[in-house]
Amino acid sequence: MDSYSYKITGGKPLKGHINISGSKNAVLGILAASMMIDGTCTLENVPDISDVHVMVKICESIGAKIETELTPEGSVTLHIDPRGIDTYEATGPSVSKIRASYYLLGALLGRGGKASLRMPGGCDFGQRPIDLHLKAFRQMGAKGADFRNINGGIISLHADPLRGASIFLDIVSVGATINIMLAASKAQGKTTIVNAAKEPHIVDVANFLNSMGAKIKGAGTDTIKITGVDKLPGNFTYSIIPDQIEAGTYMIAAAVTNGDVTIHNIIPTHMDPLSSKMREMGYSIDEGDDYLRVYRDPEEPVWGTNVKTAPYPGFPTDLQPQTVVLLCLSEGQSKMDEDVWENRYQYIPELQRMGANISIFDHIALINGIDHFSSAQVKATDLRAGAALVCAALAADGTSYIDEARRIDRGYEKIVDKLRSLGADIEIAGSLNLYEDKEA
Ligand code: UD1
């Protein structure tokens, strides 16, 4: 079923326990990194989501062998053997379906000094340039694609040899930091990345590469130092970190339904930007070693607040839409300042159709608290926008339809089953596709 919707009847407080899956953004970087190794590897705690299926297909298209095993607990383990890779070209149509395919630029450059890639796709929230990636590769001795002139949508690079370099990122970029780490792991000499991104999945990609034999120091700080190695032996098992954004989405779903949910298999410190805002608003958050419990005292008000997105450890842009839903159901006026992406409010007209009172001034959204959302038929304009609409529908009076639900399935493993286990009334419904599919 290509076009389907989520049918959600709201108003039921979510209650109970759920487990968070492996991180989407970490596993996509790690899958690319696994294409560089000289042996085999096994990845555990892989989320069963469509972006992973696409990335696996792309890796197979260049010659890697990947076996998928479903564990008795329902999670996915991947057995990866990249030794049969026989091309440096990843130019098939799947490449432009996801953003993270661009990590194959760094991985293939590192592996064999050559990479040819179709322009990546992904969520549309403004221009998503890759100039920083290409400038860095050029500093490392790569020739070919110029970010001002990418021929026919194919980026081709070659380096003979690929050399370490001192790279300053003038914008903190998650993607550029990972791509440089990949290429630098097998470049000649030392690479330093200054003003690197510090997101949890950057640390996870670095830990994975180090366990394969790479020499990366400082991941998680703003200076990363990489000494290139000749071989990455592999032959080990690695477990993906929990998904910070999935966890945050369930925290918000619990909060907006006045529920009481304990979210397991997480790293609570990754949730600090959201937890501290939610506490400030009046929610209770109990913290254990690998879980958080979210609930509130129904007699106490929930206050609005101001939030600004920023690179980690700032407030994650990938939780911005869900947080706007949370702010809608709080008292007074709140402000959201989206400071990472120029056009990440495309979902707001959909939310307004559910009764939200929001005005947008450039990258700032002013949110006036409302008493409740009303049900509506709305469209998931992108992955996290879709997650936000699910949260709003769970809190709304009546039955809502979230169309283009496949966008949500790009990043949320078994969301229908997980929400149902917490008492939500949600099901998959076929729906007339009223919207042209513009997403690659
Ligand atoms: C990654 C995440 C995405 C998340 C984002 C910010 C993946 C696959 N995607 O995206 O879900 O929303 O981090 O946490 O992990 N920039 C440039 N030039 C570049 C690269 C980026 O100007 O070459 C700018 C972008 O326009 C943006 C900012 O840097 O304003 C951050 O982008 P970046 O961190 O690179 O985001 P992605 O890696 O694309």
Residue-wise pLDDT for 94-138, tens only, equals 998 899 999 999 999 999 999 999 888 776 766 788 999 999 999
Q: Does any ligand 1 atom lie closer than 6 A to the CB of residue 24? A: no
Say if ligand 1 is within 6 A of residue 25 CB: yes
Distance 130 CA to ligand 1 centre (A): 9
- Predicted confidence band at 51 (pLDDT cuts at 50, 70, 90)? very high
Mean pLDDT value across residues 339-357: 95
Whether the CB of 171 sits within 6 Å of ligand 1: yes
Cβ 372 under 6 angstroms from ligand 1: no
Instruction: Please tell me whether the overall predicted TM-score, pTM, comes out greater than 0.85 for this model.
Output: yes
The b-or-e profile of 401-420 (16+ CB within 10 A means b, else e) is bbbbbbbbbbbbbbbbebbe
Residue-wise pLDDT tens digits, 285-317: 999 999 999 999 989 999 999 999 999 999 999
Quote the mean pLDDT of the chain: 94
173 Cβ below 6 A of ligand 1: yes
Ligand 1, atom 38, residue with closest C-alpha: 175
Closest ligand 1 atom to Cα of 131:
23
- Write down the pLDDT at residue 150: 65
Q: Would you state the pLDDT for residue 115?
A: 95
Q: Is the dihedral of CA 234, 214, 144, 438 positive or negative?
A: positive
The span from the CA of 84 to the CA of 64, in Å, is 6
Residues paired with 115 in a beta bridge: 157
Q: Dig out the tokens for 162 from the structure.
A: 């690929």
Positions marked active-site = 123
Residue 343: pLDDT band (50, 70, 90) is confident
Dihedral, CA of residue 287, residue 292, residue 297 and residue 303, to nearest 10: 90
Confidence of residue 435 (pLDDT cuts 50, 70, 90): very low
Q: Regarding beta strands 399-403 and 4-9, do their DSSP bridges make them parallel or antiparallel, or are they unpaired?
A: antiparallel
**Once rounded to an integer, what is the mean pLDDT over residues 342-359?**
96
The residue among 287, 285, 290, 288 whose CA lies nearest residue 259 is 285
Q: In which order are the strands placed within the sheet that holds 306-308?
A: 306-308, 333-337, 364-368, 357-361
Residue 433, pLDDT above cutoff 60: no
pLDDT score of 320 more than 80 = yes
Q: Does 74 score more than 80 pLDDT? A: no
Q: Could you read off the pLDDT of 399-408 as tens digits, one per residue?
A: 999 999 999 9
Taking the C-alpha atoms of residue 275 and residue 247, their distance in angstroms, rounded to an integer, is: 11
Angle, to 10 degrees, between the axis of helix 131-139 and the axis of helix 174-185? 30
pLDDT over 90 at 48, yes or no: yes
Count of residues in the chain: 440
CA of 377 to the centre of ligand 1 (A): 30
For 271-292, what is each residue's pLDDT tens digit? 999 999 999 999 999 999 999 9
**Residue 135 beta carbon below 6 angstroms from any ligand 1 atom:** no
* Structural domains in the chain, sorted by start: 4-21+243-430 (3.65.10.10), 24-227 (3.65.10.10)
What's the pLDDT at 146?
Answer: 65
Please tell me the predicted confidence (pLDDT) of residue 95: 92
Average pLDDT over residues 368-388: 97
What pLDDT is stored for residue 432 in this prediction? 47
Alpha carbons within 13 A on the beta-carbon side of 105:
32
pLDDT average, residue stretch 36-65: 96
Q: Whose CA is nearest to atom 31 of ligand 1?
A: 173
Ligand 1 centroid from CA 340, angstroms: 8
Dist. CA 237 → ligand 1 center (Å): 28
Q: What is the dihedral of CA 368, 373, 377, 378, to 10 degrees?
A: 40
For ligand 1, atom 20: residue with the closest CA: 130
Whether 145 shows a pLDDT value over 80: the answer reads no
Which residue's CA is the closest to the ligand 1 atom numbered 33? 173
The tens digit of pLDDT for each residue in 198-222 reads 999 999 999 999 999 999 999 999 9
pLDDT at 148: 58
DSSP-derived pairing of the beta strands 166-168 and 190-194: parallel
Confidence of residue 415 (pLDDT cuts 50, 70, 90): very high
By CB neighbour count within 10 A (0-12 exposed, 13-18 middle, 19+ buried), where does 73 fall? exposed
Largest CA distance in the chain: 67
Cα of 28 vs centre of ligand 1, distance in Å, is 14
Choose which residue among 173, 180, 202, 312 to substitute to test ligand 1 binding: the one with the highest number of ligand atoms within 8 A of its C-beta: 173
Closest ligand 1 atom to the C-alpha of 127?
Answer: 26
CA 364 to centroid of ligand 1, rounded, Å: 19
For 310, the token pair is 């920023």
Counting atoms of ligand 1 from 1, which one is nearest the CA of 25? 15
CB crowding 132-146: b at 16 or more within 10 Å, else e: bbbbbbbbbbbebbe
Please report where in the chains the tokens 């008795």 appear, as a residue: 72
pLDDT, average across residues 391-398: 97
Phi-psi region of 152 (alpha: psi -120 to 50; beta: other; left: phi over 0): left
Residues of the chain by 3-state class (helix, strand, coil), percent to 5: 35, 30, 40
CB distance 391 to ligand 1 below 6 Å: no
CA-nearest residue, atom 13 of ligand 1: 174
CA of 178, closest atom in ligand 1:
38
User: Is the CB of 132 within 6 Å of ligand 1?
Assistant: yes
Return the sign of the alpha-carbon dihedral for residues 346, 350, 353, 357: negative
- CA 77 – ligand 1 centroid, Å: 27
Nearest CA to ligand 1 atom 1: 174
Q: What is the percent of the chain with per-residue pLDDT over 90, rounded to a whole number?
A: 88
